[in-house]
Amino acid sequence: MQIINSIIHMQALAIAPEREGRRIAFVPTMGYLHEGHASLLREGRKRGDVLVLSIFVNPIQFGKNEDLDSYPRDMDRDFQIAEACGVDIVFIPTAAEMYPNGFQTGVTVRDIALPLCGAIRPRHFDGVATVVTKLFNIVRPDVALFGCKDYQQLAVIRRMTVDLNMPVEIAGMPIVREADGLAMSSRNANLSPVERQSALCLFRAIKTAREQFAAGERSVAVLARETRAIIEQESAAVIDYVEFRDGLLLHEQDVVDSNTLLALAVKIGQTRLIDNTVLGEEL
Ligand code: AMP
């Protein structure tokens, strides 16, 4: 496994497989890897001849009062997981090289980036779209794998690659959960044991909404009220949003169907967690 820091070196490494017709599979991450990331890497291993993992905590997708400085990091552990998943190249650029003095270009995806996390974290998806574009230009992947855990991020990236004719296939992968249902996230490491218990309210809310949908409930007003109520029972939980939206364009709905997305963002203490489900899809 090669560990590469320099952009020019990574670009040079990516050109050889391209010339030889070997496929590059790419998994971009912010590190502190867990089983969710590993599921993307294992699928990437199957889909590509060369598997590239990037680890970059992208400063421009964090707001001023967000957790850029406290984002968990453990490179040695990340290397072990990467190695076990068959990664060929780990690309770890520096922020100074990604965003040198004078940097002033950004990628903005409009409507689909506006609701949900886009409403709470202004410019977040500009930061995501910009860094993913840069990483695609550096790594030149044939296929890039993203988790449905970040559902809106995946939608933004799909839109961007179609709109800008980027020659890359985007693969969306299912959410990997802990045994008790908590969606895996690097940020879970910041939860105290008590907060870790409180965090289960997200999955409880998702399960209840799915059960009510399965029992025939279709009203967003009813489902949203009951979903919120479950989270509000947890005193440590502060809701950023609980929304039912059309799973394709993320438009608002009054009546749900099997393609409806339930998206949640909830703060547990200092840690902001997101989770989601599409009502008609398997958990
Ligand atoms: P991150 O390091 O949090 O930026 O995540 C890197 C990639 O891993 C993104 O495409 C995420 O959607 C994906 N990912 C994170 N957590 C999970 C999970 N629990 N299940 C599946 N994919 C995940």
For 181, which DSSP code?
A: S
CATH code of the domain covering residue 210: 3.30.1300.10
C-alpha 272 – ligand 1 centre gap (Å): 15
Question: In whole angstroms, how far apart are CA 128 and each of 24, 86, 157, 216, 217?
Answer: 21, 26, 8, 37, 35
Range of the structural domain that residue 32 is part of? 2-173
What pLDDT is recorded for position 260? 98
Considering 146, 173, 200, which residue would you say is the last residue of a domain?
173
Whether 6 and 59 share a structural domain? yes
Provide the residue type at 58 as one letter: N
The predicted-structure confidence for 80-124, as pLDDT tens digits, reads as follows 999 999 999 999 999 999 999 999 999 999 999 999 999 999 999
Considering 116, 140, 173, which residue would you say is the last residue of a domain?
173
Residue 85 lies in a domain: yes
How many domains does the chain contain in total? 2
Question: In whole angstroms, how far apart are CA 187 and each of 26, 82, 268?
Answer: 22, 19, 11
Q: What is the mean pLDDT of residues 184-210?
A: 98
Whether 191 and 164 share a structural domain? no
Q: Which residues line ligand 1 (CB under 6 A)?
A: 29-30, 36-37, 39-40, 146-147, 149-150, 173, 175-176, 183-186
Whether 164 and 206 share a structural domain? no
Q: Give the position, in ligand 1's atom list, of the atom nearest the Cα of 186.
A: 3
Residue 272 lies in a domain: yes
What pLDDT is recorded for position 18? 87
Whether 164 and 258 share a structural domain? no
Count of beta carbons in the 10 Å neighbourhood of residue 32:
21
19 falls in which pLDDT band (50, 70, 90)? confident
User: Among residues 147, 122, 123, 121, which one has the least CA distance to residue 44?
Assistant: 147
Whether 149 and 219 share a structural domain? no
User: Given ligand 1 and candidates 54, 61, 150, 206, which is best to mutate, with the most ligand atoms within 8 Å of its CB?
Assistant: 150
Q: What is the mean pLDDT of residues 214-235?
A: 98
The predicted-structure confidence for 121-173, as pLDDT tens digits, reads as follows 999 999 999 999 999 999 999 999 999 999 999 999 999 999 999 999 999 99
Considering 173, 206, 240, which residue would you say is the last residue of a domain?
173
